[in-house]
Amino acid sequence: MLRNKGIAFKLIFYILVSALIIFTLIFGYNYIVVRQVISRKIEENAKNLAQATTSRIDIVLRSVEKAPENLACFIENSSYSKEGLINSLCSVVENNPEIYGGTIAFEPYAFNSESLYFAPYFYKCNGEIKFTYLGSETYRYFYWDWYQIPKELERPMWSEPYYDVGGGNIIMATYSVPFYKTVDGERRLIGIVTADISLLWLQKMVSSIKISQTGYGFLISKNGTVVTHPTEKLIMNETIFSVAEARGDAKLREIGREMIKGMSGFVPFNSIVTGKKCWMVYGPVFSSGWSLGVLFPQDELLADITRLNRMVFSLVVAGILFLSFIIASIASNITKPLRTLAKKSEEIGSGNLDVEIPSVKSRDEVGQLTESFVYMKQSLKQYIKELTETTAAKERIESELKIAHDIQMSIVPKIFPPFPERSEFDIYATLEPAREVGGDFYDFFFIDDEHLCFVIGDVSGKGIPASLFMAVTKTLIKTIASKNMSPNEILKRANVELCHDNDSCMFVTIFLGILNTKTGEVLYTNGGHNPPLIVHKGKGGDFLEMEQGTAIGAFEDIIFKTERLVLQSGDYIFMYTDGVTEAVNKSEELFSEERLKKDVNVLLEKSVKELVLNIVEKIKDFSQGVPQADDITMMVIKYKKEI
C-alpha cells in the first residue's frame, strides 16, 4: 500500500512515526521515573506523618497510664485506709486534666469480708468532680471487660473504645491496671485501678489530618472498630472488617488484619469515601494496640505531574503538527520539480523533443537532475538527427546493393534448361551470395555447335569488389573463349588480361572445361579451384584427380595445363565452390568434401535440378541456422549421349 504512495506521504509517515515512537519512549520513561520519585517521596512523607501522629497519641496515652500505674503501685506497697484510697483516687482524677474518671475496684470481699463490691468512682461532670460507688446486682463490675480482661491477662490494658453511657456522644477508653498482694506466699489479685479518658482529642487530632482535598486519617481499635472516620456512620458501628465484608473487599480485610496486628505499611487502596485510588499508610499506636491509617489520594498528589504530562503532551502534538508542516513543504519542494520532470519526460518519450524544461535555479540534486535532463534532451535530439541521416544513407546503399545483386544475378545464366533444343546434356547451376553480391560465378556457352564451354570460379574476398572482379573475369572469359581454343589457352589469356592493372591484387580460382557434346570428351583446366566430382553412371562419383593449378589474376606468367576426360552417357560433372564444403554448423564442423560426395552419391537418380536443390537443402539443414559465411555456387552437367 505504502509503496504506491508519493514521496511526500512516505516522508511524513516515516518521520512522524519515528518521532512518535521516540517521543513515546522518552515520555513514558520520564513519566514512570517522575512518578516513582514522587511516589517514593509521598511514601516517605506518609510514613513520617503516620509515625509522628501515632507517637503523639502514644505520648498522651502513656502520660495517662502513669497515674493509675502509680496508684496501683502505691496500693500494692502500702497499707491503706478507705479514706486514703478515696483521697488518692480523687486527686488522680482532679490533677490529671485528661482523665475523665477513675476507680479502684476490688475483687469480691477483697476490701473487706463484708462487702461483695467495693469500687469508689470519681468522675468529672460539667466541670465538677462527682463521686459514687460502682457495683450492684445490675452492675457486677467483675464481669466487665475493663475489669475482667486485665484480671485474666494479669497485665495493664487499654479497653476497646466505648460510648460513655449518659456522658453524651463521647467516645471513651479505659486504662486498667491490676494490683496484687502476696498472701501466704501467693500473689493474689486484689483489684483493678482504672482511668477513663475521653477520646475527643484523639478524634480531633486524627480528623485534622487532611491530605490534599480528599485525603483523610482514620483510627481503628484493636478489634478493628472504627474510632474516627470522616464517614460518621461508621464510627463505633462498623469495624474495618465489616466494611470489607460489605464492600466484598478481601484486600481491605487483609490490610485490617495487618493493622490490628500492629504492623506498618504503605499500600494502594480505594477510598471508602470517594472511591478514588489512594495510597494508604498505616501504623500502630503501641500503647493501646490501635492503628492509624491515612489515605493519600493519588490523583490529587500526582496532579502536578499529570498537569506537566498534559502540557508536554500538548507541546508534542503542536511539535508534531509543526514537523508535519515542515516536512510537507520540503517534500513538495522536492517533488514538484520531479513531478514536472516526470510529465516532461513522458512527452519526450512520446517523441516531442522540443518540450520546454523549466529551469531550476537550485544547485541541489533536483537542480542537477533537471540539468541532466536538459542535456539528455539535447543529446537525444542530436543523436536522432544523426541517426536519421545515417539511416537515409544506409537505405540508399542498400537499394544500390539490391540493384547490384540483381545485375550480378542477371550476369550468370538463370534460365534452365538454357538450351532446350539440345538433348545431349542437362545442365543446372545455382549461385547464392553470402551478402547482397558475391565473388562466385559460373557460366556456360557454346563456342561452336559441338563444344560447350563451362566455367565456375571464386574470386578472393567478398562483397562489391569481389562481385566487380567476378563480372570482369566472367566477361573476359566469355570474350576470350573462341573456336579451337583450349581451356589452358583461355585461362592463360584471361590471366594476362586480369593481371593488367590489378592493383587490388585480387585473384580468382577457376575451373574451366569444354565438353564435346558429340563425344562426351571434356578438356579442362583448373586454376586453383576445388576439384569437381565426376560421377560415372552406376558407379558413384569421386573427386577429379587433376593438376591443382594456380588461381588467375595474381601472377602474369603462369602456365596452365589442359587435361582430358571422357563422359559416358549418364555421367555427371558436379562443380562447386568452397562455400559448399566450408559451410559450418553450430559446432563449427565443416560440411566437407566427404559429406558432399556421400550426399551426391545418394541423389544420383535425381535430375540435375533436383540434385542441386537437394544439396542446397542439405547444406541448409547442416548449417542449423548459422549464417552463410561464403557464397554457395554449384553447377552440374549431365552428359546424355544420343544413341
How many residues lie near other proteins (CB under 8 A)? 28
Contacts of 640 (CB under 8 A, 6+ apart): 423, 424, 425, 426, 569, 570
Site string for other proteins, 158-197 (x = CB under 8 A): -xx-------------------------------------
Q: Does 219 contact other proteins by CB under 8 A?
A: no
Nearer to other proteins, 142 or 622 (CB): 142
Name which of 598, 505, 514 is nearest 563 in CA terms. Answer: 514
* Neighbouring C-alpha atoms within 13 Å toward the C-beta of 341: 18
* 236 touches other proteins by CB under 8 A: yes
Over the range 91-105, which residues count as b (16 or more CB within 10 Å of their CB) and which as e? ebbeebeebbbbbbb
Q: Rounded distance, CA 513 to CA 526, Å?
A: 8
- Say whether residue 241 binds other proteins (CB under 8 A): yes
622 lies in the binding site for other proteins (CB under 8 A): no
Asked if 537 interacts with other proteins (CB under 8 A), we say: no
Task: Determine the Cα–Cα distance for residues 133 and 117; give it in Å rounded to an integer.
Answer: 9
Pick 143 or 358: Cβ nearer other proteins: 143
In whole angstroms, the minimum distance from the beta carbon of 138 to other proteins comes to: 8
Binding of other proteins by 223 (CB under 8 A): yes
Distance of closest approach, residue 226 Cβ to other proteins, in angstroms = 10
CA 503 from chain center: how many Å? 74
The residues in 242-261 that bind other proteins, with binding defined as CB under 8 A, are 242, 245-246, 253, 256-257, 260
Question: What span, in angstroms and rounded, lies between the C-alpha atoms of 105 and 247?
Answer: 42
Closest by CA position to 580, among listed 640, 514, 633: 633
Residue closer to other proteins (CB basis): 252 or 596: 252
Q: For the CB of residue 44, give the shortest distance to other proteins in the complex, in Å.
A: 28
Q: Among residues 117 and 241, whose Cβ is nearest to other proteins?
A: 241
Among 145, 400, 406, 542, contact with other proteins (rule: CB under 8 A): 145
Which CB, 291 or 633, lies closer to other proteins?
291
Nearest Cα neighbor of 600 from 611, 591, 616 is 611
Instruction: Based on the shown chain and the rule CB under 8 A, indicate whether residue 263 belongs to the binding site for other proteins.
Output: no
213 near other proteins (CB under 8 A): no
The sign of the CA dihedral 492, 494, 497, 499 is: negative
Amino acid at 230: P
Minimum Å gap between C-beta 281 and other proteins is: 19
Q: Which three cell numbers stand for residue 543?
A: 573427386
**190, 107 contact by CB (below 8 A):** yes
Q: Which of residues 322-381 bind other proteins (CB under 8 A)?
A: none
Cβ closest to other proteins, residue 244 vs residue 455: 244
- Interface with other proteins (CB under 8 A): 142-145, 148-149, 151-153, 157, 159-160, 222-224, 236-242, 245-246, 253, 256-257, 260
